[in-house]
Structure 1
Amino acid sequence: MGDPPPPIIPAYILIEPHPKDVGNLPQRIPLDQSTGCDDTDTRSYATNWIDIAKPYAPWRTLADFEYTEGAVKGLLKSDLIDFQLKRIGGDWTEGRSKISLQNYREYRHALTCATTAGVQFHKGTAEAKIWGETRKYSFFYRNPWEWIKTLLQDPSLACHSNWKSRKMFYSEGDHTERFVNEPWTGNRWWEVDDELPQPNPFAHCWLPLHIWLDKGLVTKHVKMFPIVLRALWLPSEIRNASGNGGGVFIGFMVVVTDPGDPDDRTDAQNYEWAQFRREIYQQVLETIFAALYRPACTGETITCADNVTRVFYPGFLIESLDMEEAWNFTCCRAGRANFPCPRCLVRQGMLGCLQKRFPLRTTQTMRRVVQQAQRAATATRKEEMLRGTGLHDVIHFMWNFRFCDPYLSVTYDLLHAGEMGKWGHHLWELTLKILRDLKLSSEATRIMGEFPRWPNLKHINDLATKDFTDGQTHFDILKCIIFVLVQILPPGNSLIPCTRALLQFRMMAGLKVATESRINLIKAFIRSYEVCCERVHEEYGKNFNFPKQHALVHAVDDILDKGSLQHATTRMGEGTHQEVAQHYAATNFRDVDGQISTRDEEQEAVARTRLLVDEFNAQLAKQQGQEDDAHTREEAAQFGVRGTGRTIPKSKLPPVDADNQWIFGSPLRHGDSRSYEDLYAAGDPVFRNFDSRLRAFLHQQFPTEYLTYEDKIEIEIFRCVYVTYQSKDDWTLCEDILRCNDNWYNSGPRRDCVLYNSDKPGLAVARLRALVRCRLPSKRVVDLAVAREMKHSNWRPRTSWDGCFVFSEEADLSFLLMDYVIRGALLAPVRPHSSSRSQANLHFFVDVVDGDMFLRCLNAKKHVCY
């Protein structure tokens, strides 16, 4: 079973720099098993941190800093810190401690000195009049321009910064097409670079920012509203992380609490309250980002960490907001307005039309409407003008920023518009209702509980009995639910193709790289989804006329303009709520904004100092020649997977080649082929006639080995394998951990499946039954799997869907060289119908475990998708 991998057609990434990117020439980067689409400049720049005599300053000793670091991370209270320091300096150590801090006062003094080296918080105020009363609010914020300058002058980030846009192309054979991934590959950045001046003599560069705003619960009853800013000129793996160059907590938006019940107010009063909230909202944003206004309009000259002077223009490219915050941010009216979309002028009754285009909102047109409304002769005429575009009478803080448009920057959100929107609040609720009406809730829960386990896919045992609130769980349900519904709903049910069409769009829109062919498929999936929604509406009366449905209209433009939607999802900021909740728990629960701001400053101070200390130690070790010894390097080369640095436990039979795309783990038994057959053949079909079948297979694969009956074949059995493969999504290396265990965590057998190379058309799948390493008399080491082949079946469920693969598991066991394995695969069993036992070995192929698998299955279905 298995065939050699097909010949590799040379593939390249072509990079076309912007014409104003002086000095950079077009590049061609070959794609192989060790590269991907990361086009970041990898030049390195020397740092002078090694010259710092005390990288842990302002602390007197390294021990002082490390104690403070632990106390800050542990959110220790002042009385506990004081108690510990007094004991450490006294009875506990008898005066021999390296910690010189004596009490909390000294601890606080050193920490305060350290925080002053970073960008600190300031207090701002906002006020507006509502119903004859002036309401005032205070908030805390950082100066965003000061934070940006720390990034520009950070030596560790210099080699990762991208100052100019570029166009990226994927080329394979005679085929070439453009793709976008990072924001600097999108159309919008290229257009801004077109508008920027020519170098004179300094290069003029745009600094696009990603702003994230979301209100969340820090306790069951307390809401807070953090704002996070990210630098889009840094790669996503840096800006979306929590380390150096990652997103910064820039401040708090004011939570404007409604003093009454909206149902008790008139429409006019509700409008006044909404207007008031947006006025406060804009005042807060204007105060926070006031420092960016002058450099955004005229530019500011700064010498960066690479000793190159450039002129920078900060601006906003991506706004990650849920729908409510998008209305607040753009000063638009909410969902019941005549024109509820913050991006375009779509009428209320047309929100379900996904193939029609509507006039886009722009800074120029919206500002003109507000200015004309403010000059209207009567209040009635003013209201008519504002209602005609769904606006409030509020001046937007971003209208005077150069290269910024608050409406264009609102970006399709995979979380709130997708998993929590169209699926979680609409199709999923409809699904639950249908299951309850048909009395199938228990059956659906039982089938979902039997769904096979897979990494990064939640195993859900309480499908219909729990109210799920997080987006990731909803996404995991969306991935699995079709394999449940198809087995219990009546034939031809419209909900199944509708759910599948939405999932196809979500999988394709969530890829890290969007090529032209993938963009065309996204458009096709949106068309298919709209048709399916019409069928669901006819069958169940479901109304799809809501704003998050309409958001699909803008998804493709967002990808083309700003890069992959992965960079704009609000999911990446959800961890901020957890951090704020931890800080909140350490406060006295009064005037908490200031206390949380202080704790965030402290955490950044110790993180910054830790970076300096670690860099100092690394450079010092390098100078002194304290590198890993030869034995350690040899072990790393033998057991490490490229790019991971992981160490695999030693086995009796070590691999002959450390460069394989697989590594066996969890060794079980060691022996020879005949002893295994003698010991286990009676109870395990894997080892029946094992020795003779193994010799026949090895002779077929390696005829020059000349194995005789007397030759001993040494073998070792393993229970898992790490398979490295090149992702079809972004052409980078990924890894699957596959199990072949008779009793996995005492929950019964777990035997995962693999994709492998075959000369037969379509997907080739097999289920692992044993992982075997053989050492032949010639000392050749061979890794292979004993597996059951999964053959394509002509059987189809009562309601089929686009991309439905069904496999039948064969009874015979055969050998498969690990050289032919591509990656892991997930198959869900088909539950046999009471009148048909022929379904006992049938399985649905789950093609939505990740983007790579989705693309492989699309192309297996003859979709042309690069």
Structure 2
Amino acid sequence: MNMHPIVLRPAFLPAEIRNASGNGGGTFIGLMPIVGNPNNTIENEDDTPTSVELAQFKRELYHKVTHVIFRSLRKRSHHGDALSCGDKIMRVVYPGFLIHSVDGEEGCSTCGTHGAQAKHPCPKCLAEKTALTMLSKHFMPRVQEVMIDIFRNAKKLGSSSRMALLRDSGLHFVKNTFWKINNSSPYDAYSYDLLHAFDAGEWSKHLWPLVLEKVTKEHGKKFNYLKHHNLIHLPEDIENKGCTENYSTRPGEGFQQEGSPASIWTNFKNTESQITHIDENQEAIACIRMFVDLHDEELSKAMSAEDLTDGNEPPPRPVRCQDNYAVGSPLTKITIDILENTKGNLPLYRSFRSKLHEFLKSELDKDSCPRGFLTITPYQCLYLTYMSLEDWREKRDILHCDPSFHNRPRYDCVVINTNPGMSQKSEKPDHGWPDEDTVRHGQTRVRA
């Protein structure tokens, strides 16, 4: 039996990790059987009884499989589950599916909708087949609650009336698995697929053949097909989910190249568990290979440094800086008197002179502490370097403080942890600003 792999990729990871192969952000969780002839795709599905019967059977099988795979997520998606995050803080998280990276075939399966030749073929809206070429027209979106009501009403009707009702909404009589998982509307999660909808669809199957011919004004090409209509939903996907890299199917297609050899290594009986075991071994080998390559790279750098000295002197020590911040965009030096006279009405600058002296006394020894007349240089930019808890790489934030930054006021701020070893509370909602308990535990808000 032909099968498609199901790969779960955490949406909170950066795209370069989530979409990576090998030790990337994807986890192989199961195989989806392909029913019937793989060449009979949704492009051939219409509203005739025979086509609907076979397509509905495919959708039922699809959702029964996903029902088993995602069973453990249903209650957690509604009530949450405690999870230790990368910063060692326990948080209550609510799992859900915000993005489905699938082609048109699987898109109709996840949404339980009719095929490309049906009256309403789009998995995201109720556009009619005859209006797919109208990219400037607004169509009624598929709302999960409305689709559920249509399914419930269809259960109460006879066979012919049920089929008519479902045909008018482009739905199959299938109970969708994702309806019971919170924050997981399949119609919102279905995303524009640049690979299949544009590269291999809009361009490869439709526009490129026209370029190859001696194209005339009367070429007769009609753009009334689903992959062209999908362009109408692309701005919405970019606005809600970011750039198309976040929901590309290319990583999934790449995983099939990894999974195909694994299937050959099985005895073709109970292949799921065998492929999973092979995939775990491959991940472990890739992890070991990565550390060996890093070790070899460090040895190569050390040997190169030794070659520079001809072996007569020890290799130079690398220069390291402990400072994780820098300031920029300096203004003209001013005295403390001028600062207090111009900004003394602001709470942050009240008693600035005494606060500055107290700070200098605490940071400098008695002999180094400045006395008498002081001038200061205000800066409007702060560079903060830190280690990201997403991918453990070095990142940098640039914060600005300017009453007229490109003709608009800009006052950036960031919450930093000045005492990372201290336990912190996480029950309260994250509203963007630290509360009193958080501040007492060592988090400080810094403004540029």
Partner residue in 1 for 2:305: 631
369 and 631 in structure 1: CA distance in 2 versus 1, 3 angstrom threshold:
same
Partner residue in 2 for 1:406: 186
- Asked if 1:238 corresponds to 2:28, the answer is no
* Amino acid in structure 1 at the alignment position of 2:169: T
SS in 1 for 2:151: helix
Partner residue in 1 for 2:220: 541
Q: Is the 8 A contact 1:234 1:245 kept in 2?
A: no
588 and 557 in structure 1: CA distance in 2 versus 1, 3 angstrom threshold:
same
CA drift of 1:272 comes to: 1.5
CA drift of 1:255 comes to: 1.7
1:361-399 C-alpha deviation (Å, 9 max, x unpaired): 0111100110111112x2222111111100001111111
369 and 613 in structure 1: CA distance in 2 versus 1, 3 angstrom threshold:
same
- Asked if 1:251 corresponds to 2:30, the answer is yes
CA drift of 1:539 comes to: 1.9
- Asked if 1:417 corresponds to 2:197, the answer is yes
SS in 2 for 1:415: helix
The correspondence for 1:552, drawn from 225, 231, 240, is: 231
SS in 2 for 1:540: coil
630 and 344 in structure 1: CA distance in 2 versus 1, 3 angstrom threshold:
same
Task: Measure the CA separation in 2 of the matches of 1:632 and 1:373.
Answer: 78
299 and 259 in structure 1: CA distance in 2 versus 1, 3 angstrom threshold:
closer
Equivalent residues in 2 for 1:587-598 (5 A)?
587-598=266-277
* Amino acid in structure 1 at the alignment position of 2:175: I
Q: Is the 8 A contact 1:580 1:596 kept in 2?
A: yes
* Amino acid in structure 2 at the alignment position of 1:399: W
Q: Is the 8 A contact 2:132 2:228 kept in 1?
A: yes
Q: Is the 8 A contact 2:197 2:230 kept in 1?
A: yes
Task: Measure the CA separation in 2 of the matches of 1:548 and 1:318.
Answer: 18
CA drift of 1:631 comes to: 2.8
Partner residue in 2 for 1:302: 83
* Amino acid in structure 1 at the alignment position of 2:93: F
SS in 2 for 1:253: strand
SS in 1 for 2:136: coil
Give the length in aligned residue pairs.
307
Task: Measure the CA separation in 1 of the matches of 2:169 and 2:159.
Answer: 16
Equivalent residues in 2 for 1:196-235 (5 A)?
223-235=2-14
- Asked if 1:290 corresponds to 2:71, the answer is yes
* Amino acid in structure 1 at the alignment position of 2:229: H
Task: Measure the CA separation in 1 of the matches of 2:289 and 2:169.
Answer: 52
Q: Is the 8 A contact 2:101 2:248 kept in 1?
A: yes
Partner residue in 2 for 1:602: 281
Task: Measure the CA separation in 2 of the matches of 1:293 and 1:592.
Answer: 27
Equivalent residues in 2 for 1:364-375 (5 A)?
364-375=145-156
- Asked if 1:381 corresponds to 2:161, the answer is yes
Flag the structure with higher strand content: 1
Q: Is the 8 A contact 2:47 2:117 kept in 1?
A: no
The gaps in structure 2 that reach 5 residues or longer are 310-394, 396-448
CA drift of 1:261 comes to: 9.3
The gaps in structure 1 that reach 5 residues or longer are 1-221, 436-488, 494-537, 636-731, 733-866
TM-score normalised per structure 2:
0.62
SS in 1 for 2:178: coil
Partner residue in 1 for 2:59: 278
Flag the structure with higher helix content: 2
242 and 360 in structure 1: CA distance in 2 versus 1, 3 angstrom threshold:
same
Task: Measure the CA separation in 1 of the matches of 2:249 and 2:38.
Answer: 29
* Amino acid in structure 2 at the alignment position of 1:250: I
238 and 393 in structure 1: CA distance in 2 versus 1, 3 angstrom threshold:
same
1:545-575 C-alpha deviation (Å, 9 max, x unpaired): 1000100000001000000012212122221
Deviates more, 1:234-243 or 1:348-357: 234-243
- Asked if 1:562 corresponds to 2:266, the answer is no
Task: Measure the CA separation in 2 of the matches of 1:279 and 1:259.
Answer: 17
Partner residue in 1 for 2:360: none
Task: Measure the CA separation in 1 of the matches of 2:292 and 2:16.
Answer: 23
- Asked if 1:322 corresponds to 2:103, the answer is yes
1:389-433 C-alpha deviation (Å, 9 max, x unpaired): 00001111111222221001111111111011111111122333x
Q: Is the 8 A contact 2:120 2:127 kept in 1?
A: yes
> % of aligned pairs identical?
39
- Asked if 1:583 corresponds to 2:257, the answer is no
TM-score normalised per structure 1:
0.33
Task: Measure the CA separation in 2 of the matches of 1:309 and 1:266.
Answer: 50
Q: Is the 8 A contact 1:363 1:407 kept in 2?
A: yes
Cα root mean square deviation, aligned: 3.3
